Amino acid sequence: MHPRARKTIKLSVLTLLLLVLSGYAQDFQIRTRVDLVVVPVTVKGSGDRLITDLTRDDFVVYEDGRKQTITNFTTDPVRLSAAVLVDTGLTPGSLSKVQQTFPTLAGAFSDFDEVAVYRFDKFVAKVLDFSRDSAVVETAMKTLREVQPDTDTYPTSSRGPFSTPGPVINGAPVIPPGQIGVIVTSPPKKTKVLNDAIFAAASDLAKRDRERRKIVLVITDGSTTGSDHSFDETVRRLLDTGIQVYAIGLEQTFFTRKFSILDDYAKTTGGDAYFANSVPNIEKFYARAAEQARNQYVLGYISNNEVPGTTPKFRDIQVRLARAGLETRHRKGYYQYP
């Protein structure tokens, strides 16, 4: 599992002396591995407000149903390594709204954070590598304001295949008598490599300073088709590296929000998903995501489970609270390695 801590047990002075006399005059140590599981936790109350006054005694952690002893506890704010993913394959209206929010998006992070910027639709492209310079980040955002909607997917001409008037039966246009050679075309298939974008960001985040909290902030409509990486493969990459996903979903109805892949990514990794269709709400959620990611309870424990065999085993994590009426968000588990 990641991260790993190692405890060093030094031999006694007498044993070292015997080793020296035996000709083994080296700095001899025995090392045993101790797996420290780190679980950042967000706690919310009514009205989606953050709860920040809890203590270690308010938390109970279970791993695969077995109670764990919390050995580490902190509430100190941390610096962020944030990979910002912007879906540039949105409808023209949604893309325009997101482009208006870029100054606010750049301002959501502090001078202590580092930010990388990516765009994706049919492909994934890195716009900016990790930088702590807010001016550089804002300049990278400005380049995305020049991106135009994909007219192949969202035609703007009034003479498209759906603009020709005429009778329709079961959703299919009927060619009137005397008209021949009319070709009925279906809408182009939309490709959106959301999984690949998150996977690429996770791979880059894995190389950043381990002392930073690592997050993916993705702004998208949640469509995902044509990705090389599956949802399960991408989630495993995120859990292996302790990365949280914060998603701002666009063009989502109340019904589709409940089944959105964005909510699945957020719940599995301990992040959050917000849904908005207006510029003010989108901007509000930028600040909320950064605040929530930076201010979490961090619980640490040494797992009392051992891996049977030689292959990694997934461990389910549950965090319960002594107080009622509160909601916790944390990663749902991790892969424990032999």
Q: What is the pTM of this model?
A: 0.80
CB 36 within 8 Å of CB 3: yes
Provide the CATH topology of domain 80-147+190-295: Rossmann fold (3.40.50)
Residue 122 burial (C-beta neighbours within 10 Å; 0-12, 13-18, 19+): middle
H helix runs in the chain, sequence order = 13-21, 92-100, 102-107, 134-144, 194-205, 231-241, 254-258, 261-269, 279-294
Tell me the CA distances in angstroms from 65 to 47, 123, 182, 215, 305, one per residue in order: 30, 41, 64, 28, 11
Tell me the mean pLDDT per 10 residues along the chain, length 338: 41 43 46 75 93 96 97 95 97 95 94 97 96 94 88 50 44 48 52 96 96 97 93 96 96 82 96 95 96 96 90 96 94 93
pLDDT at 254: 77
Query: Hey, what amino acid is at 95?
Result: L
Q: Helix, strand, or coil here: 212?
A: coil
DSSP-based three-state secondary structure for 66 = strand
Task: Note the pLDDT of residue 184.
Answer: 45
pLDDT given for residue 88 in this prediction: 95
**Residues 242, 231: contact at Cβ < 8 Å?**
no
Domain ranges, ordered by start, for the chain? 5-11+37-75+298-336, 80-147+190-295
pLDDT of residue 153: 58
Per-residue pLDDT, 188: 54
CA angle 317, 322, 323 (to 5 degrees): 115
CA angle (209 as vertex; 56, 49 as ends), nearest 5: 40
Distances (CA, A) of 204 to 82, 220, 243: 10, 20, 11
What is the structure's pLDDT at 150? 75
Contact 298, 212 (CB under 8 A): no
The strand pair at 124-131 and 66-68 is best described as unpaired
Quote the DSSP letter at residue 102: H
DSSP string over 11-39: PPHHHHHHHHHTT--S---EEEEE-EEEE
pLDDT for residue 190: 72
Q: What pLDDT, on the 0 to 100 scale, is given for residue 307?
A: 86
